[in-house]
Amino acid sequence: MARSGVRRRRSAFAAGLATMAMALGFTVIPAQAATTSRTDYVALGDSYSAGQGAAPYTDRTCFVSRKGYPVIADNLKGIQLNANAGCSGYTAGAVAGNLPASVAGAEVITITVGANDVGTTAILLACLPAPTSLECGGALAAAQAKLTDGSLATSLLTMVGAIRSQAPNAKIVLTGYPHLFAPDHPFALVANPMVDGLNGVIAGVANGTGSQYVDVTSAFAGHGVGSAAPWINFNAANILDPANFHPTGEGYRQGYHASLVSQRAFAQS
């Protein structure tokens, strides 16, 4: 009988609290109904978005890897990766022309793109074997022209506009690229300044479109090709190795993912 009375008093007390809460304008939500909100995330871009360089691949056409930074982010509490549409070889125009349907519902969209627009692969293939050759000089000149004549910026602006039209309220994050070579590597004086120029255009477009720019050069410092602990793949015996000049798994984790997190790319303002 005593226990029955205690239960009745507790029930009456709980009912009284609920009545008071409603009278004061509060909504009573059962504890079991509470849910954890998750940020809908979509990744776009080129091979660096796909995760090329960090095998094995779930898609050999685009070189999509589970070790790429989008999938690493998906493991964060509160992040839901709805699509990794990064693909090897993509330019800004290819990104704009191949937007997944999930972009429309995305809250955060990251993009790494621009290197293929200026022909960085052509530079590496032409200049590594013969840095003083006419082929190397021509590839460098063509890339520099695209950085300075506004063509890359225009392509990136058009791409951001296409994304904005489908996801007007999403946070768009444009990332840069790392320096591929250690400062004392013979090719560093050719490649690293080109990356700086590329990053400068990307950052300018981000600033001009209300997007966020995430720098990764600081995170990759000391980890370029030729360093003691490289986070960039380079198989000198096979210059055409598809992993060449792409981050390793550690590069995606400690370089890209760490930079995105530390610069609050996934935080919604």
Task: Answer whether residue 20 shows pLDDT above 50.
Answer: no
Predicted local confidence at residue 69, as pLDDT: 98
Distance between CA 153 and CA 117 in Å, rounded? 10
Closest CA to 81 of 266, 268, 269: 266
Predicted local confidence at residue 16, as pLDDT: 44
Distance between CA 33 and CA 252 in Å, rounded? 37
The pair of structure tokens assigned to 155 is 């392509």
Task: Answer whether residue 175 shows pLDDT above 90.
Answer: yes
Predicted local confidence at residue 61, as pLDDT: 95
Asked whether residue 48 falls in the same domain as residue 133, the answer is yes
Asked whether residue 102 falls in the same domain as residue 230, the answer is yes
pTM: 0.84
Q: Which domain holds residue 21?
A: 1-34
22 pLDDT band, cuts 50/70/90, is very low
Asked whether residue 28 falls in the same domain as residue 126, the answer is no
Asked whether residue 25 falls in the same domain as residue 104, the answer is no
Taking residues 34-62, report their average pLDDT.
91
Predicted local confidence at residue 136, as pLDDT: 84
Task: Answer whether residue 169 shows pLDDT above 70.
Answer: yes
Predicted local confidence at residue 13, as pLDDT: 39
Q: How many domains does the chain have?
A: 2
3 state SS of 143 = helix
Closest CA to 250 of 224, 269, 268: 224
111 pLDDT band, cuts 50/70/90, is very high
Task: Identify any residues that bridge with 173 across adjacent strands, giving them in sequence order.
Answer: 110, 212
Residue 268 lies in a domain: no
Asked whether residue 13 falls in the same domain as residue 54, the answer is no
Task: Answer whether residue 269 shows pLDDT above 60.
Answer: yes
Which tens digit of pLDDT belongs to each residue from 230-262? 999 999 899 889 999 999 999 999 999 999 999
Specify burial of residue 215 (Cβ count, 10 A radius: 0-12, 13-18, 19+).
middle
**Bigger pLDDT: 18 or 269?**
269
Asked whether residue 9 falls in the same domain as residue 49, the answer is no
